[in-house]
Chain A
Amino acid sequence: MSDDDFWAALRRTTQSRIGLGRAGDTMALGDVLAFRAAHAQARDAVHVPVDVDALVADLESRGLGTPLLVASQVADRGEYLRRPDLGRQPRDLDHLPRDTGADLGIVLADGLSGQALTDHAPALVAALVERLTPRYSLAPLVVATNARVALGDHVGAHLGVETVLVLVGERPGLSVPSSLGIYLTHHPRPGRRDSERNCISNVHPPDGLDHAHAARIVDALVAGARDLGESGVRLKDTSRSLDAAADGPVTLS
């Protein structure tokens, strides 16, 4: 088997830059130039605003309703990068219903990749709705622009939901330009700490987590949070049982 065949087989298992050629101790030029090109594209992607119209149209076409729009206090993408504090604060929530009493709220936040939101959020929301309703009631969808995760605390508290899910565009990587993260916060309110959330990252089929699988983990976490009365580090994802522990899944309290 040649060197190339050996690595070609392994590359089917990962997007990692494995088996690169060497020029002396360093990387071969072709790999260096490919890296630079990918870096340039990823940097450009950070600054592209989310296409809200396309996102709304996609959600509507899937029968998921028309989302309510919320902007953060950030003026533009440049300020978004420099001022995370403003990205966590909504500009105005008065047009959102108050105290819906719903079990769940879903906030679609552009984060660092608006592209990830348009690529993955509609299908992920559809998977979540299919998996979680009608067992749980759902507040109207909210799309938040120039938004960070903690903006969901304001939205969730305003809507009066039990648990809020923030679907956020993750930092574009070189090989993965478009990836979504899901942050679950039980009893959302402004001031929640990051340790009071649970995160599912790398939702980007086909190479990352697929939408149905992500929805299954969310289902387990929502149930766990409702049992425990909180989300965060004490809540563990037990959607897969731990074989090593004969007496059942590891839960720490």
Chain B
Amino acid sequence: MTGPAYRRTVTVFRQTLGPTTYTFDHLVDLMAKASPRRSGDELAGCAAETDAERAAAQWALADVPLDLFLTELLVPAETDDVTRLILEQHDAAAYRQISHLTVGGLRDWLLDTVTRDDAADRLTGIRWALTPEMVAAVSKLMRNQDLVTVARAVQVTTAFRTTVGLPGRLSTRLQPNHPTDDPRGITAATLDGLLLGAGDAVIGINPATDSPQAVSDLLHLLDDVRQRYEIPTQSCVLTHVTTSIGLIEAGAPVDLVFQSIAGTQGANEGFGVTLDLLREANEAARSLRRGTVGDNVMYLETGQGSVLSADAHRGTEGRPVDQQTLEARAYAVARDLDPFLINTVVGFIGPEYLYDGKQVVRAGLEDHFCAKLLGLQMGADVCYTNHTEADQDDMDVLLTLLAAARVGFVICVPGADDVMLGYQSLGFHDALYARDLFGTRPAPEFEEWLTRCGLMSESGRVLPVDPSTSVLRTLGAGA
């Protein structure tokens, strides 16, 4: 193939811990073995074999200069368009302010920065200086509190009909899924969420089928509800990007275009997408000009383990790349599209990638930190499946930590039970808890609507209204 030639170097890393000297043959191996323990890396065969090896790898990783990530590529540029995108995105001028740092030095720089008055500006200033691999590397050295405190200092706002990510705000996706896409059932769940103050990030349905007709019906259903009650929010039916493009051409009311994305070209092919296809979808949705306060139109989902699941996780010399680094690489794809929302589906992919509550919590904080540092409106599906060693207590921990880290939005379903996808996320009540705990409110446009409708008090409390006399009572009339 033609194109730029990328310099290849190979560095071998050594670290002595007590009587043992550990050797890491390549930066790919060092990154994997420095990762906090998780089942997906063990499944891929790249995890540290002992806790001591992991500690040694973290020690060695701390001394790696950031420069090395620009020359020693974890996934070859020749065969992977995500790597090429990462190199194209890199801002050499902005990078000069941190180019002297090691990975450990970057960790200290970040933690020092968050104590300064201009923290948000300084963190915005290095957004395009950092590559996903650098961000993944530094996260591996950081404790959970470090991931929280740095992510908290990063400000990212995006807008369509509401503005998400403003200080003092916590938004929610209202997810009214139904196993047969029954319009009455979806309407009932939507009503439930709206009465509990949810839906300011998006009202988003995972459809049971990818049939264009069914998706179109759902889009019209949500758009009618939005217009009838003049709700300042946006809707989305989470179907494949090609279906959304077809529906835009057919004149369906598409606010946000959804797509799952991942961190290698092969995994994206597994999702049936290319970078060009995603850009085409972005342009198509933007051309409709349906946003009122902003024109971010993409809604993306990611999650650790998706690349391994697609068997597209091998990098340089065929070495398996750890799942957290691959996840961070997906954020390069995301930020190419300037999305309205992106969220990690952290506990959804299953115990073969994140085994238990501890691993899910850690991964949720990593994903939020990495994506936000790279400039994305990163929310979370704080969730788990029934074959994962986790329960609602673990979700409480992750929600509380993410809210402390000023997450932009979280996904909520009625009673925390998604009856279509068969997993547990947060309930609408959980968002009320988090808002109360940190004194946050929904997006300003949506808050104004809730107040006007008598659903929220001036002090920001969602009121226990009688649904049969509320302004939304007619939503329940079709049952």
**Interface of A toward B, CB cutoff 8 Å:** 1-3, 5-7, 9-20, 22, 25-27, 31, 35-36, 38-39, 42-43, 45-46, 81-85, 112, 170-176, 179, 193-195, 198-202, 204, 207-209, 217, 232-234, 236-245, 249-250, 252
List of 5 A-B pairs having minimum Cβ-Cβ separation, nearest first: A17-B415, A173-B422, A14-B185, A233-B272, A195-B272
Q: Does B39 contact A (CB under 8 A)?
A: yes
Q: Are A15 and B467 also in contact (CB < 8 A) when A209-B180, A234-B242 are?
A: no
Q: Are A237 and B210 also in contact (CB < 8 A) when A83-B352, A174-B424, A209-B180 are?
A: yes
A31 and B428 alpha carbons, distance in the complex (Å): 13
Q: Residues of B contacting A232 with CB < 8 Å?
A: 272
Residue of B43, B387, B427 near A46 (CB, 8 A) is B387
Contact check, B211 vs A16: say whether CB atoms are below 8 A apart.
no
Report the minimum CB–CB distance from A173 to chain B (whole Å): 3
**Interface of B toward A, CB cutoff 8 Å:** 39, 43, 176, 178-180, 182, 184-189, 191-192, 208-214, 216, 240, 242-243, 245-247, 249-252, 269-272, 309-310, 350-352, 355, 385-387, 391-392, 413-424, 427, 429, 432-433, 436, 461-462, 464, 466-468, 476, 479
A191 and B68 alpha carbons, distance in the complex (Å): 34
Q: Are A25 and B462 also in contact (CB < 8 A) when A13-B479, A35-B415, A82-B39 are?
A: yes
Question: Nearest CB to that of A45 among chain B residues?
Answer: B386
A17 and B430 alpha carbons, distance in the complex (Å): 14
Question: What is the interface of chain A mostly: helix, strand, loop, or mixed?
Answer: loop
A68 and B433 alpha carbons, distance in the complex (Å): 53
Q: Residues of B contacting A1 with CB < 8 Å?
A: 468
Report the minimum CB–CB distance from B421 to chain A (whole Å): 8
Report the minimum CB–CB distance from B353 to chain A (whole Å): 9
Contact check, A10 vs B188: say whether CB atoms are below 8 A apart.
yes
Contact check, A9 vs B179: say whether CB atoms are below 8 A apart.
no
Contact check, B208 vs A201: say whether CB atoms are below 8 A apart.
yes
Contact check, A173 vs B418: say whether CB atoms are below 8 A apart.
yes
Report the minimum CB–CB distance from B418 to chain A (whole Å): 7
Question: Nearest CB to that of A19 among chain B residues?
Answer: B192
Question: Nearest CB to that of A8 among chain B residues?
Answer: B479
Question: Nearest CB to that of A21 among chain B residues?
Answer: B464
With most chain B CB atoms within 10 A of its CB, the pick from A13, A176, A204, A207 is: A13
Contact check, A15 vs B419: say whether CB atoms are below 8 A apart.
yes
Q: Are A6 and B270 also in contact (CB < 8 A) when A13-B479, A202-B208, A208-B179 are?
A: no
A200 and B179 alpha carbons, distance in the complex (Å): 11
